Amino acid sequence: MVIVMTLLFIGIIIPIFIMNLIAYINFTKYEPALCNITNVSYPTEFPYTESLDLWSTCDCGKRCTSRYPCVNLYSSINENRMMKYSYSEKDFSCTITEELCLDGEDPYYTQQYLNEAIRVGESYINSTVSCFVNRHDPENNPIYLHLDSPFNSFIAITVVSGFLLLIIVTLLVLICKEENECCKKPENTEKLDSVVINEGFVK
């Protein structure tokens, strides 16, 4: 039991804790700024095999995947680096897109998604928006439209790590205590042996 929990702590909890710690430390390096949008890319036609660059994969239900249009933004801070939507986003293939498209298999709704992407894309052309940049090196680090804090997840994994570590230490202490009690000679037995030995010498 203790071995399993120790391996779980070392193999899973510690790496997750380290990744969350790094993410939180990196988060603290960001500050708000204004980004001048210099380039906006978005699709203007339905996705075809030859034109999937501006279409991301979305989940349209059980065993169903479809395509959702991407809107990609570039700013004057670094015109070659695509802006990212959020600090917590895992998919950085687009600045603005959707992972879920429940009606994505229907061409009618795909056309609606496309129309909305065109509208959103046009609204960003030559605009200035609030953004978040790395205060030490804004040009060579990701630029975000939104900066949602990873503090809650960092606290959660810290609490879980501390709780699991406390359980492991407690179990180890109990095991060591049991082993010491098993190996320890009873006091009455020691006294009895002493009496026997002394009587032997008297005789």
pLDDT digits (tens, 9 = 90+) for 127-186: 999 999 999 999 999 999 998 876 677 677 778 777 777 777 777 777 777 777 665 555
* CB neighbourhood size of 2 (10 A): 14
Q: Estimate the share of the chain in helix, then strand, then coil, as percent rounded to the nearest 5.
A: 45, 25, 30
Q: How many domains does the chain have?
A: 1
Six token digits for residue 72 = 């990609």
Please state the length of the chain: 203
Q: Is the confidence at residue 203, as pLDDT, over 50?
A: no
- pLDDT value for 92: 74
CA atoms within 13 Å, Cβ hemisphere of 64: 11
Distance CA 41, CA 60 (A): 24
**Domain of residue 48, residue span:** 36-150
Q: What is the mean pLDDT of residues 78-94?
A: 87
Give 97's pLDDT tier (boundaries 50, 70, 90).
very high
134 in a structural domain: yes
Is 163 a member of any domain? Answer: no
Note the pLDDT of residue 202.
45
Report the range of poorest mean pLDDT among 10-14, 45-49, 60-64, 122-126: 10-14
Domain assignment present for residue 20? The answer is no
Question: Residue 190's pLDDT is what?
Answer: 52
Cβ proximity of 150 and 24 under 8 Å: yes
